[in-house]
Structure 1
């Protein structure tokens, strides 16, 4: 895969790397990254393939995305990156595979509201994809116009604005993410590739929202097999987007992981 777009928040050698979920961008983690920077920890924010400013591909592949992340970490930080890898939802699956296949790069892993298994909830993105596809881009006059045109199909303001962050005007209105590929790949996005007989020995924090149904009790056995040092914490009053619902709880948890993993400030 082609190189990934990344953004550095803070100064010095990055200690955290963030992988966003479906239709997300690295910038969605800016608030958390800026709080970590205030504590002396720099972060690198990733746009995953087919998202944000990263290159498009012709096939959705979790192993391919994980390899692209590993290649970028190795390019930026060397073979001993010693990074705390944080992934949410789709990005959490990429983060898990990255840690399993390249444990030498990862000092600790944080998986946010996703499990190493099938995520049936991805079907909820179907209507969102349909709403984006049905938007007449040639007829748009402004972003506010797009917001109004999508309101009936996507009545939740936060979700609609999250989707519209991907709308760009340069050279005519267009979706920045690879909507065609991602929309056609929802089944693969919800799936989990068998990583084989491997495990990641480092510290792992599994953060889930108490109002989310993405992680189920039956996922615990696989999570423990793949990540023997996993610590599962449930964040109160949080849904699937835990970092948006309870950012301070996530920031505090990440700082605790850094201490546990012995990842020092630059």
Structure 2
């Protein structure tokens, strides 16, 4: 079955009035990751949170290119009958949001990108993939045991809790909701930069002050694609800025949307 024939990505809608805002999570995440932002916006916006392919409750596929994932977003937009949307994406989700805006600029009102540039990165998640694949699920009878195995490779308890959200129990056996084999095999696609092109609408980049995912070295790659750019920095945060200082992150997103999401 081709991707065009696959089911829609899994999604959840919060709010029922106002402009539509699509929230897109990062690698190893799901639609819950930006739900706090969704709740902040739902009184004034129609918020759609989605699971990317091979993540959460969305379909599994043999490819993870940004072009293919942008088409997933397009099918969702068509399914919901949307004319124009604003997008908020973190990390991989930020790249996907940029890819969609560059591919379908007429469908995008505004764009908010959290701590990522439109460029290729080195294998920053290799240790996480190796750690997840090292877990012997046949020897796991509860989440505590899975956490103990993961702790042999990852010290940060918060990161482990985030990753273990992807464990589910079916037929007395734990398994990953993530399509780990494909994510591993397609990691170079996930690490790749986004397409060339131009999007003339308003774009906000939000950078974690302590993160090196978005730096001055990325300026040319950003300005080559986006002409109306604002950059905000949340000091004292790393790559997970939306989780580390959610009030500030959500306030920046809301302020930008209030200025740019209404035609």
Specify if TM > 0.5: yes
Contact 2:140–2:174 at 8 Å: present in 1 too? yes
Give the distance between the partners of 2:257 and 2:191, measured in 1 at CA: 30
Give the distance between the partners of 1:175 and 1:98, measured in 2 at CA: 28
CA drift at 1:14: 5.8
CA drift at 1:104: 1.9
CA drift at 1:185: 2.2
CA drift at 1:248: 1.1
Give the distance between the partners of 1:94 and 1:124, measured in 2 at CA: 18
Counterpart residue number, 1:137 = 137
Counterpart residue number, 1:91 = 93
Give the distance between the partners of 2:188 and 2:163, measured in 1 at CA: 19
Give the distance between the partners of 2:128 and 2:73, measured in 1 at CA: 27
Contact 1:115–1:223 at 8 Å: present in 2 too? yes
Which 4+ stretches in 1 moved above 6 angstroms?
Answer: none
CA drift at 1:106: 1.2
CA drift at 1:215: 1.2
Contact 1:88–1:111 at 8 Å: present in 2 too? yes
Give the distance between the partners of 2:93 and 2:246, measured in 1 at CA: 17
TM-score (norm. length: structure 2): 0.93
Give the distance between the partners of 1:84 and 1:49, measured in 2 at CA: 20
What secondary structure sits across from 1:201 in the alignment?
strand
Structure 2 gap segments, 5+ residues each: none
Contact 1:15–1:263 at 8 Å: present in 2 too? no
TM-score (norm. length: structure 1): 0.92
Q: 1:17 aligns with which of 17, 22, 31?
A: 22
Residue correspondence of structure 1 range 110-259 to structure 2 within 5 A: 110-120=112-122, 123-171=123-171, 172-195=173-196, 198-259=197-258
Counterpart residue number, 1:263 = 262
CA drift at 1:105: 1.6
Contact 1:74–1:105 at 8 Å: present in 2 too? no
CA drift at 1:262: 4.4
Give the distance between the partners of 1:238 and 1:167, measured in 2 at CA: 27
